[in-house]
Amino acid sequence: MQKLVAYLGPEGTFTESAAIKHSPDAKLKPYPSISSVVSAITDGEAEEGIVPIENSLQGSVNDTLDLLIQHPKTFIRGELVLPVEHCLLVKRGSKCEDIRVIYSHPQALAQCRNYLEANFFGVVTVASLSTAAAADQVKNSKEIDAAIGTTRAASLYGLEILEKRIQDNQYNVTRFAVIGPSDHEPTGRDKTSLCFSFEDDRPGLLYGVMKQFADLEINLGKIESRPTGKSLGQYIFLVDLDGHRAGPAVARAIEYLDKETSWFRVFGSYPRYE
């Protein structure tokens, strides 16, 4: 039976591109939100899901992190990193000087701000639900409008690409998480994502955890915090580290977290994207 992979839709978005790259032979199904992708996994509708988890410019995708915290039966089992390449899309035959409105997702508009100010100063920009939705708006508009979107969106919606790679930062990339009902077996080139919090608020708690990682010679790729949602000043700490949870060093660190924190959860161990 063909594997079903859920992804944050609609078609023509960067997340669909990540899903195609991850599993080109699978049946890909778009879902309208990150939470609905997670629900597809927990309800058994899909075997895997693809969601954005981090952008090199905007940072972490908080909706994804919060849902991983809230759903202990959903795990990260892989990751992909894709370059973000924005294109200016128009209906065929449209000219730059005639463009009235430019549509796109707020993040895409922000990532092309310098380009827009230099080339379309005074042109109205309008936020859309996604870059693909922006392309659909241009397709159905009776005016000469433009969208910032992907090359695939241009193909799907019958639009022309006026200019490629219009993003201000050419090193803009997004990391996508492959989620499922379990994480990945060890491969020898793995990373682990986990989170933890403390009930108490006293000096040295976080230092103790960081020292444990250092003593075990575990390299940390990222550490950040999210509010617990319970009260001001209470945070959940999220960590990406080198190694698999089944390895001796990471297993010892997890044992320490189980004893010294009030709550912790392993999001999963999975192959590190090369």
Catalytic sites, residue numbers: 174, 176
29 forms beta bridges with 6
CA distance 234 to 201: 8
Site of tokens 């922006």: 134
Taking Cα atoms as reference points, which of 136, 142, 60, 134 lies closest to residue 104? 134
CA distance 7 to 51: 6
Instruction: Quickly count: other Cβ atoms within 10 Å of residue 9's Cβ.
Output: 21
CA distance 172 to 110: 12
CA distance 145 to 82: 28
